[in-house]
């Protein structure tokens, strides 16, 4: 209904603190949460680059490595981090700025050249915001979250806009809710898997216990089922706990 398959199985990268373990589990890449920002000064930047160098050495040059900056940086710090990471053959630097700071995204992309990709968009909503990221900021990879951007219908419109401008679309880690979309798009080559295990040493269900039989990648791969809808159903055997105002968990 949304276009037909262009691939029989999905290929995943892992988001978590141990990309070296992700490689052992069959993933094609690893995205590392950035621990140190500009408040940590140049010493924090040094620690980030030391971690990046260690992971590049452990994972090898063919393994994809990326930073997840989660809206935490200013432009100056992002440029410093980006340049040092490009030297280590990192593949992209993600979501450095507030989603409305299109100007910083634009300037970071201009400074990137062709050494490293600049990505973002998980906290953007509707095709209109993504039009800014695509046309004005020239981001390399657009990362809408199907649960935040306006649902599958809006995701398809965003994806069509990105495809018309020659951009990759790699949805943010919305799990099974983006799998069917990625299956239909040639410009969505890989899929994100959020490593929910505390030590990032195994793949566990992202939405447990809400979904029954949640599909998960095995050896970094997954064949999308032909079940109706998103291919999952709510686990009605589990009781949701209502938390009232003032309740402490």
Show which residues are catalytic.
Answer: 172
153: closest CA among 38, 2, 7, 8?
Answer: 2
User: Alpha-carbon distance 95 to 171, whole Å?
Assistant: 13
What's the distance, Cα to Cα, between the start and end of the chain in Å?
43
| Ramachandran angles phi, psi of 134, nearest 5° | -85, -50
Q: If DSSP codes are grouped into helix, strand and coil, which group holds residue 41?
A: helix
Sequence-distant (6+) residues with CB within 8 A of 143 are 94, 95, 119, 120, 121, 122, 169, 170, 171, 172
Phi and psi (nearest 5°) for 195?
A: -85, 100
Name the residue among 131, 122, 128 with its Cα closest to residue 167: 131
């Amino acid at each position: 209904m949304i276009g037909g398959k262009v691939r029989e199985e999905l290929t995943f990268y892992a988001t978590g603190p141990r990309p070296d373990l992700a490689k052992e589990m069959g993933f094609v890449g690893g995205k590392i949460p950035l621990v140190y920002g500009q408040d940590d000064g140049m010493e924090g930047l040094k620690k980030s680059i030391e971690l990046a160098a260690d992971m590049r050495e452990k994972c090898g040059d063919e393994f994809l490595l990326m930073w997840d900056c989660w809206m935490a940086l200013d432009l100056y710090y992002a440029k410093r981090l980006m340049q040092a990471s490009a030297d280590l053959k990192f593949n992209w630097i993600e979501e450095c700025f507030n989603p409305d700071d299109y100007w910083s995204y634009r300037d970071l992309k201009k400074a990137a050249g062709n050494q490293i990709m600049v990505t973002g968009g998980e906290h953007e909503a509707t095709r209109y915001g993504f039009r800014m990221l695509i046309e004005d900021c020239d981001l390399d990879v657009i990362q809408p979250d199907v649960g935040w951007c306006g649902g599958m219908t809006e995701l398809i419109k965003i994806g069509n806009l990105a495809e018309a401008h020659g951009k990759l679309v790699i949805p943010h880690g919305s799990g099974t809710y983006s799998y069917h979309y990625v299956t239909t798009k040639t410009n969505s080559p890989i899929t994100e898997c959020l490593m929910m295990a505390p030590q990032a040493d195994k793949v566990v269900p992202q939405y447990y216990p809400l979904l029954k039989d949640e599909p998960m990648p095995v050896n970094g791969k997954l064949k999308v089922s032909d079940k109706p809808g998103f291919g999952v159903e709510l686990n009605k055997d589990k009781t949701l706990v209502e938390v009232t105002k003032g309740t402490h968990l």
